[in-house]
Structure 1
């Protein structure tokens, strides 16, 4: 338990907008970190009040529709006092096990960043199977920035969602999982994925495969090369529900695989519609 006697020398950055249902639970588990900063996009609920109650730094952010979005804006403009930065969403909750492993890893490492693992919750239950969620969300300050995509307001998403941090050196991995506890309901899930789908279509159309695409991960390359094909949504469902054993998660596992399959069908249909219009 020695690791818990010292603050972890990491700045945690949490981008938010109207996260009163999630932010308190997230902040309550971050007492072991040296610095926590909440970056807000004009919340109209009680998000700021909750942040103030936790004594955490609060920064207002207003996006002008151009580069940079919220996470890169912080990386470019904020004066970090720690060597490491961890980006969390308001609905992500760390555990003592995660903090213990992270503290040990940072004490003796030459890597520039770490992949993080997550446990998704859907319909109020943890998903133990299906496609695993991983993100490169922890890295040394100055060693990585999120992909620069000059999107000219493809959507109102003012935060990097599918953009990936570009790290030039090999990353490590923290195996202890972070809980992804989004309890805002199916309606919000659908609304959010409609916005994501519109963004994905524009992103797909912007990729020039004749130029350097080494900054894309293998998963991104596979997705964007095949996302417009008729079989891709069915491939995702079969892979997630059967190959990755999502079927063992019961009804929530089926529902999650179903909605993600619907999401990829929506992307394909939007792509087909755009071709007709052009």
Structure 2
């Protein structure tokens, strides 16, 4: 079987539970498979090598580029096409077939017209594959010569660290594929909440820095840009996923996931309000005690 002229980059940190399955799903199908690992303390590197992947170490220096842009610049840069997979993701058989048709249509010496492809995510939550609810799309098949990740002014924000935030790489034109990547995380569901607790720190920081928030909003999909401006996000989130997108058809798992995402939006709002309250209290402390005029109004 002829291999696809694409390098697979798998950014990891402590993915021992999932990495063997992920590497096994792409070895033999793609020209190169590289695990880009950030100082894992478990067996991620050994397991990846045992399955035939190359391993490249990565240490973030606290500035841009962050990890995925670094991959675009350093992981077999002589190969134009790069396919990102998380350490708990696998391409479906249908996606592999779709990609083969895609690259078979590109003649020798001629690039594909699109600079990137958006791929839907087949999402698993608490051990069950969700068929309804949120439709998550990832821009992960990229011509690196025509794509780059944004560099918003969020280096001071907590929660993300070496990872790019919740935005897409910039590319034009972009075409959507129909077959999914399967996101089947074998870690316990508590790790989902731990990750999203960190992510909500980042999102809350953005709410207090509107200029940066706008930079990131413009790097999202159309759906993401619209939701970015929506009021009452916890309620909108639950109603959209569970009712409008029929998450109820996934049974208890659909309800749990819609509720978890609504809780995530609530966390962002709560952390934002708490931060603003603390900032106001600190500002008042710096300005000194209030004085009141003869009508009982505060003076400064």
The TM-score, its normalising length taken from structure 2, stands at: 0.85
Change (3 A) 1:186 1:140: same
Higher mean C-alpha deviation, range 182-191 or range 239-248: 182-191
Which blocks of at least 5 consecutive residues in structure 1 are unaligned?
none
Deviation of the 1:18 alpha carbon: 0.4
For 1:4-83, what aligned pairs fall within 5 Å after superposition?
A: 5-31=1-27, 32-83=29-80
Q: Distance in 1 between matches of 2:33 and 2:66?
A: 19
Q: Distance in 2 between matches of 1:103 and 1:205?
A: 45
Deviations 1:226-246 (A, max 9, x none): 3xx4x2110110110011000
Of 125, 132, 136, the residue aligned with 1:133 is 136
Tell whether the 8 Å contact from 2:117 to 2:174 is kept in structure 1 after alignment: yes
Secondary structure in 2 aligned to 1:62? coil
Q: Look at both structures and tell me which one has the larger radius of gyration over its CA atoms.
A: 2
Deviation of the 1:64 alpha carbon: 2.0
Tell whether the 8 Å contact from 1:65 to 1:153 is kept in structure 2 after alignment: no
Q: Indicate yes or no: 2:100 matched with 1:99.
A: no
Which blocks of at least 5 consecutive residues in structure 2 are unaligned?
106-111, 280-300
Higher mean C-alpha deviation, range 205-214 or range 189-198: 205-214
Tell whether the 8 Å contact from 2:167 to 2:220 is kept in structure 1 after alignment: no
Change (3 A) 1:217 1:21: same
Of 165, 169, 174, the residue aligned with 1:165 is 169
For 1:196-211, what aligned pairs fall within 5 Å after superposition?
A: 196-208=199-211
Q: Give the aligned partner of residue 176 of structure 1.
A: 179
Secondary structure in 2 aligned to 1:235? helix
Q: Give the aligned partner of residue 294 of structure 2.
A: none
Tell whether the 8 Å contact from 2:26 to 2:33 is kept in structure 1 after alignment: yes
Deviations 1:178-198 (A, max 9, x none): 110012112111100000000
Deviation of the 1:212 alpha carbon: 10
Of 218, 222, 238, the residue aligned with 1:218 is 222
The TM-score, its normalising length taken from structure 1, stands at: 0.91
Paired residues in the alignment total 270
Deviation of the 1:78 alpha carbon: 3.4
Q: Indicate yes or no: 2:241 matched with 1:240.
A: yes
Deviations 1:69-123 (A, max 9, x none): 1101122233423221111101111122211101111333411110001111112
Q: Distance in 1 between matches of 2:45 and 2:238?
A: 39
Change (3 A) 1:207 1:218: farther
Runs of 4+ off more than 4 Å: 209-214
Change (3 A) 1:161 1:176: same
Of 192, 195, 214, the residue aligned with 2:198 is 195
Tell whether the 8 Å contact from 1:15 to 1:159 is kept in structure 2 after alignment: no
Question: Cα RMSD between the aligned structures?
Answer: 1.9
